[in-house]
Every structure is written in C-alpha cells, then in structure tokens.
Structure 1
Amino acid sequence: MAETKHTAATTEPKASQDFDLQDSLHKAEDFYQKNKNVINIALLVVVLIVGGSYAYNRFYKVPNERKAQEMIFRAQQYFAADSFRLALNGDGNNYGYLQVINKYGGTKVGNLAKYSAGVCYVKLGEFQKGIDLLKDFNGNDKLVQAYAYGLTGDAYMELNKTEDGIDYYKKAGHYSDNELTAPLYLFRAGLALEKAGKAQDAVAIYKEIKEKYPATNEGREMDKYLARLGEVRE
C-alpha cells in the first residue's frame, strides 16, 4: 500500500508539469494569433532590410563606385599635372571633379573628389568655394582629413578670417598625432595666434610642439619662436 502511495506521489508533479507546459503553449499560440499581423510585418521588415541592403550594395553601390572611378580618371591626371581648372571642369571630352561630385557624390570616389576639388579651388584662389567643398569632405584616412582641415585653415587665413583659420589649424594639428601634419599645423596655429595678438596662446602652442615633436623641423625651431615672445630657454 505504501508503495502505491509512493508511486502516486512521484507521478503527480509530472502531470502538473505537463499541464503547465501545455498551458504555456496555448498562451503563446493565443498571443501569436492576436498579434500575428504585427509580428509578420516586423519579420517582413527585417527581411526587406537585409535583402534590400544586399541588393543596394550589389546592384547600385558597387556599380556606381566603378563608374565613378572610371569617370574621375582623367581629372586625377590633370590634378597631378597641376592643371587645376581642367581637373575641376574637365576638358570637353573628359569629366572633371565637379561632374563626378554631381553624379556620384554619395560614393567613396565622389567623396574623395570633394577633397580634390576643394584643393583645386584653393590653388586657384577661390577660397570660399574651396572651404565649402573641404567641409563637405568626410575622410576615413586620418592623414587626408588632417590635410583637409589644415587647407581649410589656409583658405580662411587668405580671406583674413584669422579666428576661423586658427580653429581649423588647431583641429588639423590635434586630429592625428603624427610627426607630419601635427607639428606643421600647430605651428601655423601659433603664427596665426601671434597675428591675432594672442602671444600667450601662441607660446602654449609652441611649447606643445617642442614637447611632443622635438625631432621634427618645427620642433627644432621652437626655441627661436619662444625667445621671440620672451620665453628664454633656461
């Protein structure tokens, strides 16, 4: 008799467990039935996003990058030869940077064309047009982006907008910590600060160059510029 009771005691929780599981399944099914439209739409959106992204990259983005690369080829040759107006506008038979930007500005090649076109405008003395394009450029390469900031600073200085020039020189100097662009544009920031009558700010920049980049041409010259501002080396 005791054995029978023991058997009943061990099987009862299993029945209860089966019942709870079945009840949960019914609840999940009811939830789906009540909300299936929303769930199905959400799943469809995910599928469309994934599929659409694949289709966009394969059938639109990649072909456009290739077309833009073909389109920019002659402009790059003119740019390398310092024929900046031809690089910008083309020669009547071949496209220039401006046409590439207009047609494929959203591509990586089109983005690089903004930088190159900005350089062309600055070289041609059309500083505000250069600034506008350089600001629109978004460089993934830290060195190129630093040059873009620095050239924007040069253009502002040419327009006698010294404060803007200082801001962009500092941005260029601090954007990438390397011995090529950083000391160059920090030095220009220091000179611009002197021009603006901000001698102590210039001293701070010159000391930064001396401390961080002592082996560069700019770093080796800093004692001279500091002495000019009354900061004598001890």
Structure 2
Amino acid sequence: MTETTNKAANAPVNKDFQLEDSLHKAEDFFYKHKNTILIAVLVIVVVVGGTFAYNRFIKGPNERKAQDMVFHAQQYFEQDSFKLALNGDGNNYGFLQVIDKYGSTKTGQLAKYYAGVSYVRLGEFQKGIDLLTSFNAGDQVVQAMAYGLAGDAYMELGKTEDGISYYKKAGHYSDNELTAPTYLFRAGLALEKAGKPADAISLYKEIRDKYPQSTEGREMDKYLARLGDVRN
C-alpha cells in the first residue's frame, strides 16, 4: 500500500492535461460570470478614461480660468483692501466669485483661505471661520495657519473653548517649528484664560521639550514658573 502510494506520488505529472484543465475552468468561469466581468471592465475603462478626460478637458482649463480670475483679488489683498479683495471692483472678480465658480480647483481652495483671512481682518469673524474651517489646503503649513486663524476668530467672538480647540488642532496638525509652537502657545494662553492652568502647563512643557530652539520654546520656563511649575 505504501509502495503504491509512493509510486503515485512520484509519478510524472501530465502538465498538458493540467494546463488544458485550467483553461477549461477559466472559460467556464468567464461564461458563468460574463455579464459581471464585462460590466466591471466597462466601469474601469469609463473611470480611467473619464478621469483622463476630466483632468485634460475640464480640471486643467478650470484651474487656468480660476488663476486668471483671482489675480486682481490677490493684488487687493496685498494692499489690505479686503472688501475689494472679497467682492471685486466691478471690473475684476473678487475671491467670493472665484470660490462660487471654481471652488473645487486648487486656486478656488486658496481663494477660500484668502477670503477667510479678509473677513477676519474686517472683523466679520464668523464668516471668516466658516471659510477657514472648510478650506482644504493640500499643504500642512498653510492648513495649520488656517486652523490657527480660525482659533483667533473664535477668541474674538468670546468662544474660548472653540478657540482652544482650533489652536490645538493647528499646533498638532503640522510638526514644524514655524506653526506648531506658535499655536500651542496660544492654546496655552487661552487655557490660562479659561481657568485651566494644569492643561496650560502640559502644553507649555510640550513646547519646551519638542521645540526648544523656537522663540516660544526658549520662553517656556518663564511661563511655567509663573504657573508655579519650576524645573529643578
């Protein structure tokens, strides 16, 4: 019995037969699922082709049109003419028109940031918040700045808890020495204002330990000492 089993195990395999059998199985599978497979292939073709067509014939031209539209609004923004930057001057478009027409483009998203800043600078804080919190930068530093400015706007409205939340969001969104220590420090100050010194101490220590070379990091021992937390 064992000898027979071993002979069977060591017998040469008919590869042609195995290949032919596999082909038949593949054909059977195709005919059984033909409609599903053809629909799936069609969907792939449409998605790939549609994505290519969208990028070439819609997205690309829309991006260029948005860039043309936003030019004068950016100039007004740089001149601190925020109302003209938002609404245009009657001959040239403002950020709001760019957002309305091409808000899904990269330039349209950037217009949201500019418009949010403009509203905050004009003292229309809630309008600024609405734009800054719906803005999608695609860039960690700019996105952190948008969250941080939303925190400023909430603080101006007296909404300290929301301000703290957005300062923390800004501070932790991008681990860099430009924005992180700045917004974490603002969160700490806001926590002090809210009567939460222990939470402020925790953030001040985070700034001191993670960003010791930043302007804020070099000052943290002073703020910690003020709250009674002295490093030995």
* TM-score normalised by L of structure 1: 0.88
Is 1:160 the counterpart of 2:158? The answer is: yes
How do 1:108-123 and structure 2 match up within 5 A?
108-123=106-121
Deviation string for 1:91-150 (max 9, x for gaps)?
Answer: 000000100000001111111111111111111111111111011111221110111111
Q: State the 1:22 CA deviation.
A: 3.8
Gaps of 5+ in 1: 1-12
1:75 is aligned with what amino acid?
A
Q: 1:25 to 1:77 in 2, by over 3 A?
A: same
Q: 1:75 aligns with which of 45, 67, 73?
A: 73
Is 1:99 the counterpart of 2:97? The answer is: yes
- 1:28 and 1:223 map into 2 onto residues whose CA distance is 72
Q: 1:126 aligns with which of 108, 119, 124?
A: 124
Q: 1:83 to 1:38 in 2, by over 3 A?
A: same
Aligned length: 222
Gaps of 5+ in 2: 1-11
Q: State the 1:17 CA deviation.
A: 5.3
Q: State the 1:187 CA deviation.
A: 1.1
1:137 is aligned with what amino acid?
F
Rg larger for: 1
1:198 is aligned with what amino acid?
K
Aligned Cα root-mean-square deviation (Å): 1.9
- 2:89 and 2:152 map into 1 onto residues whose CA distance is 28
Q: 1:148 aligns with which of 146, 155, 170?
A: 146
Q: 1:59 aligns with which of 49, 57, 60?
A: 57
Secondary structure of 1:146's counterpart equals helix
Q: State the 1:156 CA deviation.
A: 0.6
Q: 1:39 to 1:233 in 2, by over 3 A?
A: closer
